[in-house]
């Protein structure tokens, strides 16, 4: 018997939403109550790297996350992703090529590291499940494109589906009850608007009090404002921000990004009991960027930066190269305790035009 090693390692980046996902209409399939749109960050530090190995001698599927073994719960998100990938391996490879090794019948050992502050609102689950999906897709040699793979990453964590692409990415909520049209698509590659920068301000690396999954369902159950948001606000914003990205219109992009971050935190506050993700430092960062923009508008007629906050106090400030120095200096002057890094938008497909 030959000792073939069945193993694959891939990594996936984080993405930061400009139009926020907050709420599920189906918690098992992870189908959202609204579409969302994000920018994928190009950075060695903020990503997840996952190695998957299949072996006929393994006794059960096992997972190590940042060096610590985690239980794979039967019927849980990780288990759903693994089962779906094994089903696809059988259907798309093994049933078609009789000589293909029966990896779908073997147990897996999966080792994943992420360099994102876990659960601090910097989307570690997004890069984590995206890396899991791509590493299994590579191990199983699945002939699937990123949108098709995004369907599986979505079953791990909703926002993970957007980390399958670089550049500017939409997660279309879809309408089908089985979720087969709830997937990520590329709005524009990184090369279309390569000037975009993200200044990440880590105000706190601590675990948040209310996790996203629990928090968003509390919002779905109790917030009247969420109903207004999903019906009357997000659909128009998705269209407007896609147009802004296609036209490289930073003013429109910035206005929509800040407004949507604020409305997301408003629906969190409109939840019973209310959820607070931002802290005093976050609110002061908002004031700083608003003031910076007021001066930019006066001087140049254009905005210079756009803040956005996820389910935590850390800020991401989208900006353009001309403003990077000023923004970074201002943040460090007023908030010397925060760790600041600035990132390009990720180009996963360098050959794609733009």
Q: What angle do CA 244, 186, 50 make, to 5 degrees?
A: 130
Should residue 311 be labelled a site residue for ligand 2P0 when binding is judged by CB under 6 A?
yes
Q: In the complex, what is the shortest distance from the CB of residue 25 to ligand 2P0, in angstroms, rounded to a whole number?
A: 12
Instruction: Restricting to residues 280-299, name those near ligand 2P0 by CB under 6 A.
Output: none
Should residue 61 be labelled a site residue for ligand 2P0 when binding is judged by CB under 6 A?
no
273 prior amide bond cis, ω within 30: yes
Q: Give CA separation, 23 vs 33, 92, 227, in Å.
A: 5, 33, 10
Residue closer to ligand 2P0 (CB basis): 40 or 104: 40
Instruction: Restricting to residues 108-167, name those near ligand 2P0 by CB under 6 A.
Output: 123, 125, 157-159
Q: What is the DSSP letter of 207?
A: P
Residue closer to ligand 2P0 (CB basis): 17 or 110: 17
Should residue 310 be labelled a site residue for ligand 2P0 when binding is judged by CB under 6 A?
yes
One residue of 36, 51, 52, 293 binding ligand 2P0 per CB under 6 A? 36
Residue closer to ligand 2P0 (CB basis): 104 or 257: 257
Q: Give CA separation, 293 vs 64, 110, 296, 300, 321, in Å.
A: 44, 46, 5, 10, 15
**Residue number closest to ligand 2P0, CB atom:** 158
Q: Give CA separation, 190 vs 168, 187, 237, 346, in Å.
A: 7, 10, 21, 6
Q: Which residue shows structure tokens 């502050």?
A: 117
Strand order in the sheet with 107-114: 6-13, 47-55, 107-114, 62-65, 68-70
Question: What's the CA gap between 347 and 67, in Å, rounded?
Answer: 29
Question: What's the CA gap between 193 and 190, in Å, rounded?
Answer: 6
Q: In the complex, what is the shortest distance from the CB of residue 19 to ligand 2P0, in angstroms, rounded to a whole number?
A: 8
Residue closer to ligand 2P0 (CB basis): 54 or 160: 160
One residue of 12, 14, 30, 78 binding ligand 2P0 per CB under 6 A? 30
Q: In the complex, what is the shortest distance from the CB of residue 135 to ligand 2P0, in angstroms, rounded to a whole number?
A: 19
Should residue 35 be labelled a site residue for ligand 2P0 when binding is judged by CB under 6 A?
no
One residue of 13, 20, 31, 204 binding ligand 2P0 per CB under 6 A? 20
Provide the β-strand partners of residue 53.
Answer: 7, 109
Residue closer to ligand 2P0 (CB basis): 54 or 136: 136
# of chain residues touching ligand 2P0 (CB under 6 A): 16
Sequence-distant (≥ 6) Cβ neighbours of residue 296 within 8 angstroms: 302, 303, 304, 305, 323
Print the binding letters for residues 194-233 with ligand 2P0: x by CB under 6 A, - otherwise.
Answer: ------------------xx--------------------
Give the tokens for residue 198: 């993200």
Should residue 51 be labelled a site residue for ligand 2P0 when binding is judged by CB under 6 A?
no
98 by Cβ neighbours in 10 Å (0-12 / 13-18 / 19+) ranks as exposed
One residue of 12, 14, 17, 183 binding ligand 2P0 per CB under 6 A? 17
Residue 249 Cα to chain centre, angstroms:
23
Could you list the residues that contact ligand 2P0 (CB under 6 A)? Answer: 17, 20-22, 30, 36, 123, 125, 157-159, 212-213, 264, 310-311
């Amino acid at each position: 018997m030959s000792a073939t090693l069945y193993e694959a390692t891939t990594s996936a980046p984080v993405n930061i939403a400009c139009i926020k996902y907050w709420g599920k209409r189906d918690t098992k399939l992870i189908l959202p109550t609204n579409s969302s749109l994000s920018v994928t960050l190009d950075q060695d530090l903020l990503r997840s790297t996952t190695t998957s190995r299949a072996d006929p001698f393994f006794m059960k599927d096992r997972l190590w996350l940042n060096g610590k073994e985690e239980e794979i719960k039967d019927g849980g998100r990780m288990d759903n992703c693994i089962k779906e990938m094994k089903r696809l391996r059988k259907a798309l490879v093994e049933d078609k090529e009789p000589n293909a090794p029966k990896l779908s019948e073997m147990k897996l050992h999966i080792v994943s590291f992420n360099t994102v502050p876990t659960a601090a609102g910097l989307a570690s689950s997004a890069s984590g499940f995206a890396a899991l999906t791509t590493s299994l897709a590579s191990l199983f040699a699945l002939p699937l494109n990123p949108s098709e793979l995004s369907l599986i990453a979505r079953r791990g964590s909703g926002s993970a589906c957007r980390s399958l692409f670089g550049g500017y990415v939409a997660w279309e909520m879809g309408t089908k009850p089985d979720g087969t049209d709830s997937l990520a698509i590329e709005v524009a590659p990184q090369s279309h608007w390569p000037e975009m920068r993200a200044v990440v301000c880590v105000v706190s690396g601590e675990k948040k009090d209310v996790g996203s999954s629990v928090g968003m369902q509390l919002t779905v159950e109790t917030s009247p404002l969420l109903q207004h948001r999903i019906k009357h606000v997000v659909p128009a914003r998705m269209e407007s921000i896609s147009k802004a990205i296609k036209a490289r219109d930073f003013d429109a992009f910035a206005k929509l990004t800040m407004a949507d971050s604020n409305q997301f935190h408003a629906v969190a506050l409109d939840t019973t009991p209310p959820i607070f993700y931002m802290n005093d430092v976050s609110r002061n960062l908002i004031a700083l960027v608003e003031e910076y923009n007021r001066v930019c508008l006066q001087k140049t007629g254009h905005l210079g930066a756009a803040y956005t906050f996820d389910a935590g106090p850390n800020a991401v400030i989208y900006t353009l190269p001309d403003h990077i120095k000023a923004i970074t200096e201002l943040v460090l002057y007023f908030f010397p305790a925060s760790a600041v890094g600035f990132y390009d938008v990720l180009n996963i497909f360098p050959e794609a035009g733009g």
